[in-house]
Structure 1
Amino acid sequence: MHLIIKLIFILTGLSNDPPADFILGSWYTEEKAALIGFSKNEQGYFGEIIWLKDSLKSGKTKVDENNKNPNLRKRPILGIPIVWGLKYEDGNWEGGKLYDPQSGSTYNCQIKVKDTLTIEVRGYLGLPAFGRSVYWTKVEK
């Protein structure tokens, strides 16, 4: 499949691998329940929740109530980092962490390009084979 993606990038005028900054911008989660904004800093690429379809719960702002750290359970979900520490290597973003606010768990993370508008976000423990992928869609300008 990676070969097909490279071919798409070649045919569309991009290099063999997506550029490192391809991931920057806004991405809808698989169920379009949230929008994740990707940026980069000296630690690597990171993404935070910039929009929620349902930002209220019982008339109040949704908070990170499932966080394993009790000190973080009152912070609003909107604006929290959910992906961080990703480094670009050989056409993929690897070595990062992925936080799932629904479970309060943090996983290892890698991201691969599926096509010019879709990325595969894989959260896992130990090895990538022991994980789960979701697919996020780029917000077109």
Structure 2
Amino acid sequence: MKKSIFTLALLMFAVTINAQSILGNWKTVDDETGETKSIVNLYEENGEIYGKVLKVLNKDRQDAVCDKCEGDKKDKLILGMVIVEGMKKKGDEYKNGTILDPQKGKEYDCKIWLDEDNKNKLNVRGYIAFLYRTQNWYRAIE
């Protein structure tokens, strides 16, 4: 009985910790159309956060490439592409990295933070100077 209670408490603690982290899989939602576009995995590498497209949700875009991208991402599959790069933790936010919009082929400075009221909602802001767009991504629970 004691082992069961301990195991349950440990599991609940692990779920709580995970819910407060930006790491893991997130459903991306287009802020202009409201359409859920993809599943992106946010992971840590060398103290920085990166995001890789794990799944493209539109069946007609499974083989889509980043034809408007420049450099090494030009004409590469969006599926498997790293679109969030070099994010560094600053307080409750992650900054100083970039995010790529593969449909437009544009890279933006980026800021990411968990929503204050809903830890399963991620605010993802891409910006150039003082112009910005913020998307809400939602924790993918499959």
**TM > 0.5 fold call:** yes
Measured against aligned partners, the alpha-carbon deviations of 1:101-131 in whole angstroms (never above 9, x if no partner) come to 011000000011112110110000124xx20
Counterparts of 1:137 and 1:100 in 2: how far apart (Å)? 18
Indicate yes or no: 2:122 matched with 1:123: no
Equivalent residues of 2:84, 2:97 under 8 A apart: yes
Indicate yes or no: 2:61 matched with 1:64: no
Q: In the alignment, what sits opposite 1:81?
A: 82
Equivalent residues of 2:87, 2:94 under 8 A apart: yes
Shift of 1:82: 0.7
Larger-Rg structure: 2
Regions of 4+ moved over 4 Å? none
Shift of 1:32: 1.6
Equivalent residues of 2:93, 2:111 under 8 A apart: yes
Of the structure 1 ranges 93-102 and 60-69, higher mean CA displacement relative to structure 2 is found in: 60-69
Q: In the alignment, what sits opposite 1:10?
A: none
Structure 1 unaligned runs (5+)?
A: 1-12
Q: Among all aligned residue pairs of Structure 1 and Structure 2, give the percentage whose two residues are the same amino acid.
A: 24
Distance 1:43 1:56, change over 3 A: farther
Distance 1:72 1:96, change over 3 A: closer
Shift of 1:56: 4.3
Q: In the alignment, what sits opposite 2:8?
A: none
Structure 2 unaligned runs (5+)?
A: 1-12, 30-34
Shift of 1:74: 2.4
Measured against aligned partners, the alpha-carbon deviations of 1:3-33 in whole angstroms (never above 9, x if no partner) come to xxxxxxxxxx8xxxx88x8111000011221
Q: In the alignment, what sits opposite 2:41?
A: 37
Q: Which amino acid aligns with 1:112?
A: W
Q: How many residues align?
A: 119
SS of match in other structure, 1:29: strand
Distance 1:55 1:82, change over 3 A: farther
Q: Compute the RMSD of aligned alpha carbons.
A: 2.2
Q: Scaled by the length of structure 2, what TM-score is found? A: 0.75
Match of 2:50 among 26, 38, 46: 46
